[in-house]
Amino acid sequence: MKKTYFSVPVKNINVLFRRFFFLLFTLFFCINSLCLFIAIVSPFINPKYFWLPALFGLFFKIFFLANCIFIIGYFLYRSKRGIVACLLAFTISIPSLAANFGFHFREDKYEQNDALRLMTYNCTSFGWFKNPDYEGVVSNIRNANPDILCLQEYYKHTKKHKKLLQFLSNEMGFKYYYEYTTRVLKSKNQVGQAYFSKIPLHNFSPIVFSNNTSNGASYVDIYLKNDTVRLINVHFQSIRLHEKEYDITNLKPLEPSEGGKSNQLIISLEKIRNAFRRRSYQTMQVDSVIKNSPYKVIVCGDFNDTPNSYLYKTLTNSLDDSYLKTNFGIGSSFAGKIPGLRIDYILTDPDIKVAKTFVWRHVGGQHYPLVSDILLDNK
């Protein structure tokens, strides 16, 4: 009996593979679109009630870039429906993109003598607590030469505090300052926030975060010739991930003695969840101070959150992001292992004219300082 063999034309095999990869490509597009949509709506959802959307919000830029790649892919596939779907996702992403990226191309001209230079800086304990980078932090302050300096993670080391004050007062000319301790680490070592200024500061008042360990906020009033401004210095809740927890590919099972958790990933997610929820309560506290202020308000500091967050959305309902108004680009302020992360801000009352806000991109601690030249009747 003669055997019969069946063969499939090579052309048909290519068609099958093409259809398979197209379906797989579309599946990934649908998953990414869902993640992108959750990230877009996350600023409108209070993490106090539901925190998972806030986690997606952290990765908005990744989902958005992936959508741009899908546009190219569908163009190569010549899929009109795919291109339209990608462009629709792109369109609804524009408001979130505008909060993450500055589109101010032209630099306004101004005289430096007419501006009040404000610097906000998470100085990472001046390198005394974690990294030996004191000189880098000091150099940034010296070169930027601000009129008012707001510091977060301000570490008061008993033996080195005097040296720091001498530098800030004698060399930098800061005649006025307030220090606010949020946590006592040892008997005489403290961490918190500080203001240093070349012009008088008045009515210092702390904003006590009841549900935190060492984060906090405070405000001072600045009396100008024709106006008064309330300056709020904030350091919202940190996630407190250890260095190894930033690398999710290296998360290993824990020993039962370490809290009984089965995986570091679970512990990391719990830290992120708790930070989101605490920042929600802290946001309400600061927002209340802003709304009840009799003066124009400037909020600066380390928010520990991205522009695609409930915290940022709430505060910018009444204040302007000075970086977006005066600069071009992402404005990443975190100098650690996560690139493109903007978590430090200077928000201003809409009636306050900001000449320029920029990131002082010189290494000194885990954050880059943020500097803003504000045009006020201050001198």
70-90 confidence digits (pLDDT tens): 999 999 988 999 999 999 999
Tell me the domain boundaries of the chain. 10-100, 104-375
Average pLDDT over residues 196-201: 95
CA 98 vs CA 37, 103, 329, 333: distances in Å: 16, 8, 10, 17
Instruction: Look over the chain and give the mean of its residue pLDDT values, rounded to a whole number.
Output: 86
pLDDT at 138 over 80: yes
Rounded to whole angstroms, the maximal C-alpha distance in the chain is: 108
Instruction: Say whether 302 sits in a helix, a strand or coil.
Output: strand
Contact between 217 and 209 under an 8 Å Cβ cutoff? The reply is yes
Q: What is residue 104's predicted lDDT score, i.e. its pLDDT?
A: 82
Q: What is residue 204's predicted lDDT score, i.e. its pLDDT?
A: 95
pLDDT-derived band at 191 (thresholds 50, 70, 90) equals confident
pLDDT at 106 over 80: no
Look-up of token digits 């909020």: 299
Alpha carbon 71 to its chain centroid, in Å, reads 28
Q: What is residue 113's predicted lDDT score, i.e. its pLDDT?
A: 74
What CATH code would you report for 104-375?
A: 3.60.10.10
pLDDT-derived band at 257 (thresholds 50, 70, 90) equals very low
Average pLDDT over residues 318-325: 95
Q: What tokens does 68 get?
A: 């741009």
pLDDT at 203 over 90: yes
Closest by CA position to 99, among listed 280, 324, 254:
324
Distance CA 81, CA 1 (A): 52
Q: What is residue 71's predicted lDDT score, i.e. its pLDDT?
A: 95
Q: What is residue 3's predicted lDDT score, i.e. its pLDDT?
A: 57
Instruction: Say whether 372 sits in a helix, a strand or coil.
Output: strand
pLDDT at 129 over 50: no
pLDDT at 244 over 70: no
Residues 193, 142, 223: CA angle, nearest 5 degrees: 55
Average pLDDT over residues 88-116: 86
